[in-house]
Each structure stands twice: as C-alpha cells, then as structure tokens.
A and B are shown apart, each in its own frame.
Chain A
Amino acid sequence: MSAPRGKADGTTPLLQVRDLSVLFPGRRGGAAVRAVERLSFDIAPGQTLGLVGQSGSGKTTAGRAILQLQKAHEGSVRLLGQELTTMRPSQLRRMRRHMQFVLQNPYSSLHPRMTIGQILSEPLLVHHAVPANRIGERVAELLELVNLDPAMLRRYPHEFSGGQRQRVVIARALAVNPDFVVCDEPVSALDVRTQAQIVALLQSLQERLGLSYLFIAHDLAIVREVAHRVAVMFRGRIVEMGSAAQVYDSPAHPYTRLLLDAVPTPDPALQRERLRQPPPDLRFLDGDGGSCIHGIDHGGAPEWHEVAAGHGVSCRYWPADGTVVSRPEACP
C-alpha cells in the first residue's frame, strides 16, 4: 500500500468511524465494561466534530481508540481512506504524522528539562518531516504559527504561562503537518480569557491549514463555539448527533436537554430562576438504557432515529412513562 496523499479531496470524509467499541476487562473477574459502544461518525476535511459528555462517558477512550493508542474491541477507523485498526505497526507509525493529539494539561504534557526548541524539533526528527538543516527554520515557523516569539526557543516550559504552554503543545502537534487533530479538553485547565484566545487560535489554524478536529470537552459552551457538528456521549454511546445548531437549539434526546439545562448561565435572574426549579428526575438514566422507545427490534442495526437531515438520536435512555413530550419519529 502506498503512503496516503497529504490532504483529502473534500468529497470523502477525512475520518470515518464505524461501530467502534472498546471493552475494558472487568475487575476481579466481573463483567467487562463497555467504555465505548458502537461509535459511528464522519469528520469532513476542515471540519470540527465536538464530542461532549460527562466524565466517564467514554469521550477520552474514544479519542484514544481513534488514534490507535487504545485497542478497539471491534469496529473500523478510516483516516484518509486507510483502515487504521488492522494496520501493521510500521505502517501505523508512518500514518501518525497525519493524526496528532493535544491534551488537557499543558503542565504535564511538556518535558520540563527540554527547551521549547528541543520539544518542537523532536517530532520533526522522529518523522523525518524536514531535512536536518531546515529544522531550526521550521521550529521558528511553528512558533510564529501559534503567535509565540521565535526568540523563546531556548526557554523551558516552566518559564511560560498556561496559555503559552498550550500554544507550544499545539505547535508540537502541528509540526508534522497533520490533517487531523484530537483535542482532548484543550482549554479546560485555562482561565476564561486564555480559553478564548486558544479557541480563536485553533479556529484560525483550522482555516489556514484545513485541519479537521475531534474536539473533546465537558464544557458545552466551549464546544458550541468551535464545533460544526456535535455528538453527545452517555455511558459509551452517542445518544444524539447533529449540527451544532440542531443539537443546541433543538435538542431531541432527553439527556442532551438535561445537560444543556444544567449549564449555568451568566444571567443572574435566569440562573436564579433555574436553580429554584425542582431538580430533574434522573432515573431514566439508570440501568442499561432499556429497549427502543418505539418498540422496534433493531436487530443488529444501529439503534438510531433521524429527527431531521443530519440530526439523529438514540432510542435508548428515554423516560419510559412518556414524561418527555416530543419523541423522535420512528424511522429506523
């Protein structure tokens, strides 16, 4: 198999995930934990899919399984048309320059004894991304790309603020010219103004370089700002997926509504009003999610119902007593 081209042609998805499941063995011989269950989605070139959900919902495991940093139990991950789950290690190593990772904590993800210059040179050396005599030039270019002064390359991570460190982490991810970047809670450790700056940087890099992002976050408001499409995860499954406007402005799954209603709003009168309302009944979220609310036997097919073009919900985890007014049309 020849090496893939640098960029996709715009008609096929850059990343295609189908029925991806990750199983963790049970503790002390207990039942296995389904951390990720039958995840399916596409990400188009230059687009961002936001993946939201509570801690423990499987967001991070999903991101790791897509990057082949975590073994998937079943399913398929195709990047630039190439199947990653069955790839030989040597091939996968070459593929890694197309997919990169930006992690949450800019304090622990940079080696404290390496200068910024060394940190940024490393991926270039590992992937032979540029000739040895051009590395210095590329490092300077990367620092400029993330709006850092190229004179900073002799400094150490501890000399930088949290926001500056996250810029270095982003520059390192971009060193090898990837097509796809998984950003796992990239701004949750930062102050609100720094968050806004990093989000703006990620957006401008996407526009300039045509990057695709999988943007994982528990903060729904941040995801609204960056994502074109949004998937909501609960207990390892996607319970709702659609465009950002569809999911945020007309949420169809009761769990999505619950999450959106719980986000505190910076409007004192409205927020007081919300806190005064009786807390929601969460019992529908217990257990294994029950069976299809429409009574349909999906067999082996995905438990998925379209509510609008490009907007779908799972038929699991719905209140059985019909307390939720609008159900999606049954259209398996």
Chain B
Amino acid sequence: MTGRLLEVRDLTATVTTRRDVIEAVRGISFDIGVDEAVGFVGESGCGKSVTAKALMRLAPEGAAIALGGSVAYRGLDLLTLEEERMRDLRGRRIAMVFQDPMTSLNPVMSIGAQMGDMLRHHFGLSGRAARERSIALLDLVGIPDPAGRIDDHPHQFSGGQRQRILIAIAISCEPDLLIADEPTTALDVTVQAQILRLLLRLREERGMALMLITHDFGVVAGMVDRVNVMYRGEIVESGPVDEVFAQPRHAYTRALLDAVPRLHGAGTVR
C-alpha cells in the first residue's frame, strides 16, 4: 500500500422511503489504500450497499439519503463537494458495478452507444475513437468477437457477458477505485469464477483499488486484503482477511462463518 485513497470517518446514512426512516449506516470509519482491495461482508439490510452508494452520494432506488461524517478521497471531502464536481468524479475516479447486469444496462441502447457515451463525456473522445476504445475494452474483459458484437443490445448477451460489459464500462475511464456490489450473485458458479478472475486480473494490471461488497464469505476470501464485517449499520469487525477468517473475534462474525455450508469435511450432517 502506497497511501490512502479513501478515508471515511463516522459516516452516517439515513435513508427515507415513503414508509420509513432508517438509520442504515451508523457512524462507520474505514480506509481504503491506493491499490488495496477491501471487502464488506454482511447480511441483507446491514448497510453495506448503502455505504457504497453513500461514497458516491447516491440514494438507494426510490429513497432519499442524508449523509453525515466525512469521506475524503485523496484529501477531497466528497460529502461537501459541489454536485457538478461530484458528477465528474463518479464514473471517472470512482466507478461502480452492481449485482444485476440486466437492470444496470439500458435495454434499448446498443452496447457501443452506452460505452461511447461515457468515453465521450469523460474524455471528449470522437465517435470513432470512442468506438475503437470500446472494442478494445470489450476484448479486455473477454467478450469474443468484440468488433462484431459492439452494436448488439444487452438482451443478446448472456448474464455473465452482461456483467463483463458492465465491468468494461466501469473500468473504461480508468478509475482509482472500483466498487463492486454483489457482482457475481446472480451468476452460475462457473461464470462467477470467471468474473472473479477477471476482477483480480484487472486490479493487478491497472493498480486499481477494489471495494467488494458481498454476503458470500467464499467470494470475499480470495479477492481482498482486508475485510469489514457489517451488522445493523455498523462495522463490528475489521482486519486482514486471513486473520478474520482464521480467528473471528466478534460473535456475529463467528456466527456468520459457522453458518456457511461447506462442500467437504466436518459440518455435514449426512
């Protein structure tokens, strides 16, 4: 680690929906180093996804969000930054990949058009240059025959390919930090392994930091340096991934790890 990319202190997030007001994140602090990979693990409703959105000042679908504390990105406080500068930062410096690749892609736009938009907006590339760049990116994430497929629409790709395309879009502006929120949850196990390998490779090649959010201890195990376990809006345990897995200190972490079904050995009932 060569320095801190992100310093989060006492972050709170209050989410207001039509029905409820929820304190989704209750004063959490953590750092992400330049080119460090950090995992956030917890059950649904623990606040891990809201935390990710809060870093980009985005509200969960159909809700309003109020943030407190501070989020410093390379010394810049993101919570007080003007919206216009924040917009430039989103996607350009901090990019995000979500769980469901079908709803995150525009179904009526070709892949090339969606990727081109981003590249023209952030880099001011010409149409032709953006197209060439997009083809190279699709190739990089392992889409076969990228030049032949760039004008295809999202429904013409498999679930795994759509997730690769989202990753291509996310890394297209060479972000410093990639936030991946359950990036493989909707995928089959063999496709999941491919996407995890791809994320590892991109991280190594590009020296990009990764914030990986998942409920799956198996997914987080091989991917990150440090892990934060979240429960009810708080980080209840934090440490190097090998230590947390080998010697969980918090009872909640132990309970979660114990509940993970194992493929082999002890723990099987039959």
Interface residues of A (CB under 8 A from B): 54-55, 191-193, 195-196, 199, 203, 218-222, 224-228, 244, 248-249, 258-260, 262-276, 279, 282
Contact = CB atoms under 8 A, between A and B. Distances in A.
Contact of A192 (B189, B221, B223, B256): B256
Contact of A222 (B217, B245, B261): B261
Contacts of A266: 217-218, 221, 245, 257, 260, 262
Contacts of B242: 268-269
Given A54-B188, A262-B189, A268-B241, A195 B262 contact: no
Nearest to A266: B217
Contact of A271 (B194, B221, B255): B221
A220 B263 contact: yes
Given A267-B221, A275-B222, A196 B259 contact: yes
B256 A193 contact: yes
A264 B219 contact: yes
Please classify the interface of chain A as helix (H, G, I), strand (E, B), loop, or mixed, using the class held by over half of its residues: helix
Given A228-B270, A267-B221, A260 B263 contact: yes
Given A275-B196, A279-B197, A192 B268 contact: no
Interface string B243-268: 00100000000011101111110011
Interface string B59-73: 000000000000000
B255 A193 contact: yes
B57 interface: no
Contacts of B241: 268
B263 A196 contact: no
Contacts of B223: 271, 275
26 contacts: A54-B189, A55-B159, A191-B43, A191-B44, A192-B217, A192-B256, A192-B260, A193-B43, A199-B261, A203-B269, A220-B263, A221-B263, A224-B268, A225-B268, A226-B269, A249-B264, A262-B190, A262-B192, A264-B193, A267-B221, A271-B221, A271-B222, A275-B193, A276-B200, A279-B194, A282-B190
B222 A224 contact: no
Contacts of B218: 263-266, 271
B215 interface: yes
B216 interface: yes
B192 to A, nearest CB: 7
B222 A264 contact: yes
Interface string B207-235: 00000000111110111000000000000
Contacts of A268: 221-222, 241-242, 245
A259 B189 contact: yes
Interface centre among A192, A195, A224 (most CB of B within 10 A): A192
A275 B189 contact: no
Contact of B188 (A55, A196, A265, A275): A55
A192 B215 contact: yes
A279 B193 contact: yes
Nearest to B186: A55
Contacts of B159: 55
Contacts of A262: 189-190, 192-193
Nearest to B269: A225
Contacts of B200: 275-276
A263 B190 CA distance: 8
